[in-house]
């Protein structure tokens, strides 16, 4: 049976931790929390980002998490809580599920993504340029 994106999102949401924007804002500034921005570089250039967030384009996530990959990023080996976000929370929900399946823990994502963060008054680093 064919499964569409809505099915994949619903499955991910049942299995992952979703933080509200307020919960995510309350964690900001904690050295033990790493925000991971999954958005495309063009989105960052247009809208800015959460200050201190690590940028990992969604298409590279699995390769950057896996220590056996030639593209592995050491940040994913640190003892931190990883909080993923994208523009609206869809890509980050799927990414959080994948990261957890790969053994990255603890992981969560921001429900509503960067849009919800910004609308809730979260700090935003202006785009560079």
Q: Coil, helix or strand for 49?
A: strand
Asked whether the CA dihedral 61, 63, 64, 66 is positive or negative, the reply is: positive
Q: Coil, helix or strand for 96?
A: helix
Judge contact between 86 and 39, C-beta under 8 A. yes
pLDDT tens-digit series, residues 16-35: 999 999 999 999 999 999 99
pLDDT tens-digit series, residues 118-127: 999 999 999 8
The DSSP output letter for 125 is B
Q: Coil, helix or strand for 60?
A: helix
Give pTM, 2 decimals. 0.95
- Taken in order of first residue, the domains within the chain and their CATH numbers are 5-48+55-114 (3.40.250.10)
């Amino acid at each position: 049976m064919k499964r569409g994106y809505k099915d994949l999102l619903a499955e991910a949401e049942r299995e992952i931790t979703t933080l509200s924007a307020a919960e995510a804002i309350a964690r900001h500034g904690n050295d033990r929390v790493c925000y991971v921005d999954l958005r495309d570089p063009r989105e960052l250039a247009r809208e800015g980002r959460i200050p201190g967030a690590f940028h990992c384009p969604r298409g590279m996530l699995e390769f950057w998490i896996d220590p056996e990959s030639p593209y592995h990023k050491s940040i994913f080996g640190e003892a931190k809580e990883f909080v993923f976000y994208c523009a609206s929370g869809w890509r980050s929900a799927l990414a959080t599920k994948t990261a957890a399946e790969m053994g990255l823990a603890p992981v969560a994502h921001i429900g509503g993504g960067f849009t919800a963060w910004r609308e809730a008054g979260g700090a935003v680093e202006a785009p560079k340029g």
